[in-house]
Chain A
Amino acid sequence: MQEVQIDHKSMETPPDTFPRQLDIATVSVYGLAILSAGLFLFLPFVNLLHPSPWQRSLGTIHSLGALTTTIVVAYTGHLAFPLLRGSAKVLPQMRTLTFWSTVIAALALLTGNLAYTRYRAAIEYGGARAWLKANTPLVQYIGMEFHEFTTLFILALGVGSTWILWYYGDSILDKKNRPVLTATCVALMGMMFFAMGGLVSGLAISKVHAL
Chain B
Amino acid sequence: MSTATMPIYTRLWNKLKQFPQALHQGADRSPSTSGAAAAALFSGGIGAVVMMITHHYAELSKANNQFVIKMGAWIPGAMNTDPMWGNLENYAGKEMMFFVGWWVSWAILHPVLKNRQVSPRILILGLLSLFTLATAMAWHPLFPYLSLQ
Contact = CB atoms under 8 A, between A and B. Distances in A.
Interface of B: 17-20, 23-32, 34, 36-38, 40-41, 43-45, 47-48, 51-52, 55, 77, 80, 83-89, 91, 94-95, 98, 102, 119-120, 123-124, 127-128, 131, 134-135, 138-139, 143-144
Given A92-B24, A169-B27, A164 B41 contact: yes
Contacts of A153: 44, 48, 131, 134-135
Interface residues of A, number: 56
Interface string A71-115: 000000000000000000001110111010000000000000110
Contacts of A156: 43-45, 47-48, 98, 102
Given A149-B138, A163-B40, A117 B52 contact: no
B95 A152 contact: yes
A196 interface: no
Given A95-B26, A187-B41, A113 B84 contact: no
Q: Which 8 A-B pairs have the closest CB atoms?
A: A156-B44, A171-B30, A179-B120, A169-B26, A121-B86, A122-B83, A120-B86, A160-B40
A135 to B, nearest CB: 14
A152 to B, nearest CB: 6
A149 B24 CA distance: 31
Contacts of B55: 149
A186 interface: yes
Nearest to B128: A186
A89 B91 CA distance: 42
Contacts of B19: 96
B87 A150 contact: no
A184 B55 CA distance: 28
A168 interface: yes
A81 to B, nearest CB: 17
Contact of A127 (B40, B86, B134): B86
Contact of B88 (A95, A120, A127, A176): A120
Nearest to A123: B83
Contact of A160 (B43, B51, B123): B43
Given A164-B37, A180-B37, A121 B26 contact: no
